[in-house]
Amino acid sequence: MFDDYEAAFGEPAPTLAAIALLVDTDDTHGAAMAWLDEIELVAPTRR
């Protein structure tokens, strides 16, 4: 995520405080349902 942020905005990402997961249908005027479980962010393993 941090590399993606820096590529998009040209500067290092700020300290991560929260992650928001959103599901909406504002543009399609439809309906949406999301089932979310525990989400864990882990560092990639080195090969």
Could you identify the residue written with the tokens 């941090």?
2
pLDDT tens-digit map of 22-45: 888 888 989 988 888 888 888 888
1 band by pLDDT with thresholds 50, 70 and 90: confident
Q: What is the pLDDT of residue 45?
A: 83
SS3 readout for 1-47: CHHHHHHHHCCCCCCCCCCCCCCCCCCCCCCCCCCCCCCCCCCCCCC
